[in-house]
Amino acid sequence: MARIVFVCGEGGGEARRVSVHAEAGQSILEAARLGGVGVETPCGGEGACGKCLVTAASTQEAVPACSTPVKDGEVYAVPDYAGGNKSLRILSARAMCEYSAETAPFITKEYSGGRTNVYGGGRLLGGEEGDSSASLYGLAVDIGTTTIVAELIDLRQGKTLACESALNPQTKYAQDVLGRIRFAGKEGGLAALYGSFAGVLNALSRTLAERSGIDTKHIYETVYSGNTTMLHLACNIDPSSLGRHPYTPQTTGGVHLMDAGVRLSPFALIYLPPVISAWVGADIASGILATGLSDKKGLTLFVDIGTNGEIVLAKDGRLAASSTAAGPAFEGMNIACGMRAQDGAIEAFAVREDGSLSFTLIGREGALSEDDAGSAGAAGICGSGILDIAAELVRTGLVDKRGRFVQPGGGEAAGKLAARVRRTDAGTAFFITEGVYISQNDIRQIQLAKSAIRSGIELLLARFGVDARDVDRAVIAGSFGYHLNEKSLVTIGLLPPAFAGKVSFAGNTSLAGAAALLLSAPLRERLAEIAARVEKIELAEDAGFEKSFVKYIGF
């Protein structure tokens, strides 16, 4: 038996010490989980990401928690995981919903005889002493793989009162949905994932209520919008069936649940929008509703870019949907200097005509160059910056079509760029600052991710018997997608060249759809009908997917 101590920051960074008794041979990560210490493991502890570093006090060396055995008597310093919320940039503002529906919430109230009755769809849910009929509130919640956004809405007035966001705490267990499905299958895994979500949602609801001057006991309904796995985990439902053929969800949505772990009204309900398939979830159904996709004339492509890229193609009311496993590259989690979108992250990047660099950092105003003193504040690269850098390296010829670093053409500008390509212990890399770079392996990860999404787009187009030139508009959804730019997406080949000038960025359509469903119960029936007629395309079973993936892996 080994006795170890973890020293970590919590919330505002105040140090706390956690003592754990672990079995000899157990990893530091296993011991941390025994003590409830949050060590971030984007790859789920599989040893693939290198980001679960803790510092051993005796040597002051950073070691990977997932693969390093505990040492009796050692003290380990753990990075302040919770503190990441302080500077994390999350798109809280939802997109505008294109459906204009009359306010007709599922929850209603009626005061009579000194008591206020609360109804759900006309059925009595419970009662409250006195007249509380003026206090009728609900929550719209977008449960993203990486972030959670909650919006408090006055159901009587149809008005948003406040919006708050946070990092999804489940990311400390695994970054992507497959990793979370695997972790949920471990002993205590599902309870840990559910508990971390319920904890942050309770914190968000308290903050929203305090900001708005209301009591959480008057929040009567919550609409959860998220991918299929996230809905399972948020409702404490085992998602293991989503990780094996035939990939059957335990819930397909369109239902109400009650959850004692979420502390709102004692008879509050949770509504789950309809799920389209195991890999195209309620967030995409909500996005279809919010963008009016089923009613658009012509050909529209809807793409939510993330660790799991969901794609919907709509043609005059006909809808087909699929998804591709893009992996965590766009979230920066398997990129050497990748990080989330928080202070110090390079979020935009360009190469000037003279070969000098221009980039912007989250938390700082204005563009910087490599010569600016402020560039020393660059801590890493977030998703939008990763795509910009890749696009600029391709555009300037420093990376060839196969994704390899090459010597660019002659001239002073080319020479400046070439001087930034250096050999490191991890291989060839392009340095933006002395401490921040993008490596040859990073470029490969970007290629794999973008090819997965591009292949999905091309195969859906093929199913409709059309090509990219026939597309009238391309809608990029999601908070991550909102910060991307069309030029970079086209340059690296994630989007076809024919999409140039046709791309719009819709923002958080998942939250917009959830808010619309919260305010209008009749829209739920409409969305159920729309979701039921979406054609489900399983790309893994398409004989052309592998060929297409190889075709589009180049730049």
pLDDT tens digits for 86-108?
Answer: 455 555 556 666 666 688 999 99
Is the pLDDT confidence value at 403 over 50?
yes
In a domain, 12, yes or no: yes
- 65 and 128 belong to one structural domain: no
Task: Identify whether residues 42 and 125 lie together within a single domain.
Answer: no
Same domain, 150 and 221: yes
**Model pLDDT for residues 227-281, shown as the tens digit of each residue:** 999 999 999 999 999 999 889 999 999 999 999 899 999 999 999 999 999 999 9
With respect to residue 272, please indicate whether it lies within any of the assigned structural domains. yes
120, 172: one domain: yes
Domain boundary among 249, 283, 317: 283
Order of strands across the sheet that contains 437-439: 421-424, 427-431, 437-439
Residue 172 and residue 252 in one domain: yes
The pLDDT tens digits for 366-384 are: 788 776 656 678 999 999 9
Nearest to 103 by CA among 516, 526, 527, 512: 516
Report the alpha-carbon distance of residue 508 to residue 142 in Å, rounded: 8
CB distance 146 to 153 below 8 Å: no
Specify whether 135 is located in the same domain as 181. Answer: yes
Range of the domain at 79: 2-83
CATH number, residue 219: 3.30.420.480
Give domain status of residue 184, yes or no.
Answer: yes
| Domains contained in the chain, number | 2
- Asked which of 48, 83, 118 is the last residue of a domain, the reply is 83
CATH number, domain at 17?
3.10.20.740
| Last-in-domain residue among 232, 264, 283 | 283
Q: Which two tokens mark 478?
A: 């999601």
Co-location of 119 and 68 in the same domain: no
Interatomic CA distance for residues 264 and 298, integer angstroms: 44
Q: How many C-beta atoms lie closer than 10 Å to residue 172's C-beta? A: 22
Same domain, residue pair 45 and 123: no
- Which range is most confident: 66-75, 82-91, 495-504? 495-504
Alpha-carbon distance values, 532 to 273, 452, 527 (Å): 12, 26, 8
Question: Is the pLDDT reported for residue 83 higher than 50?
Answer: no
Q: Which residues pair with 143 in a beta bridge?
A: 148, 226
Residues 122 and 236 in one domain: yes
pTM assigned to the model: 0.88
Q: Are residues 171 and 121 in the same domain?
A: yes
Same domain flag for 57 and 122? no
214 and 139 housed in the same domain: yes
- Asked if the structure places residue 217 within a domain, the reply is yes
Would you say residue 389 lies in a domain?
A: no
Determine if the peptide bond prior to 246 is cis (ω within 30°): yes
Q: Does residue 396 lie in a domain region?
A: no
133 in a domain, yes or no?
yes
Q: What single-letter DSSP state applies at residue 342?
A: B
- Measured at the alpha carbon of residue 104, what is the angle toward residues 100 and 110, in degrees to the nearest 5? 160
What tens digit of pLDDT does each residue of 440-488 get? 999 999 999 999 999 999 999 999 999 999 999 999 998 888 889 999 9
Is there a domain that residue 167 lies in? yes
